[in-house]
Amino acid sequence: MNSLSPITRTLIIANVGAYFVQMWSPESTLYQFALWPWGTPLFHVWQPVTYAFLHGGLAHLFFNMFGLYMFGPEIERVLGSQRYLIYYFSCVIGAAALHLIVTPLMGGMLAPTLGASGGVFGVLLAFGMLFPQRRIMLLLPPIPMPAWLFVTLYGLAELAMGVFGTVQGVAHFAHLGGMLAGFLLLMFWRVPRPKYF
């Protein structure tokens, strides 16, 4: 396993630190910094960024940070730290934007959205595009598959669950928004696929 890259390390530390702040003052943190539907008194312009540092429990935090730990360093090395930081927060904001647009159309309730998943899904999308043949081992079931297939199946599953509402309480369209923003930015930058695998 490659060493943890600087921006990925900083993002993980910031998320863990924000989680402890959230535990210390859960209600005020949630109302001020989680992502609330726009057009409501609870929405503030900073929330499409700050929501990505809050999490709905230790397991939520762990799996998001584990995803960053697994896939972030390779993407940071390909893009460089500055572009990686721009990429990550573009995915976070893209996730928030799609969620805010689609959720009211789907009859969503007035509820906060929080978590780094939009950024993590963007990083996962980049990994699938830049390292398509890299093998990824699923946990359940333990089946190895190329990264491009894993990312494609994951994206389709998120779309299906979002459309049919099969898993409540999960911001599926935020995940898809992170992937979409990442895809568009990689296409705009015309990032070449690394020669090493």
Report the chain's terminal Cα–Cα distance, integer Å.
13
Q: 90, 99, 117, 172: which one is catalytic?
A: 117
Task: Please confirm, yes or no, whether 175 is among the known catalytic residues.
Answer: yes
Give 10's DSSP letter: H
Exposed/middle/buried for residue 82 (C-beta within 10 Å: 0-12, 13-18, 19+): exposed
Q: 55, 99, 172, 175: which one is catalytic?
A: 175
Q: What is the dihedral of CA 92, 71, 190, 52, to 10 degrees?
A: 10
SS3 180: helix
Which DSSP string corresponds to 102-168? Answer: HHHHTT--S--B--SHHHHHHHHHHHHHHSTT-EEE-SSS--EEEHHHHHHHHHHHHHHHHHHT-ST
Task: Please confirm, yes or no, whether 117 is among the known catalytic residues.
Answer: yes
- The residues assigned a catalytic role are 117, 175
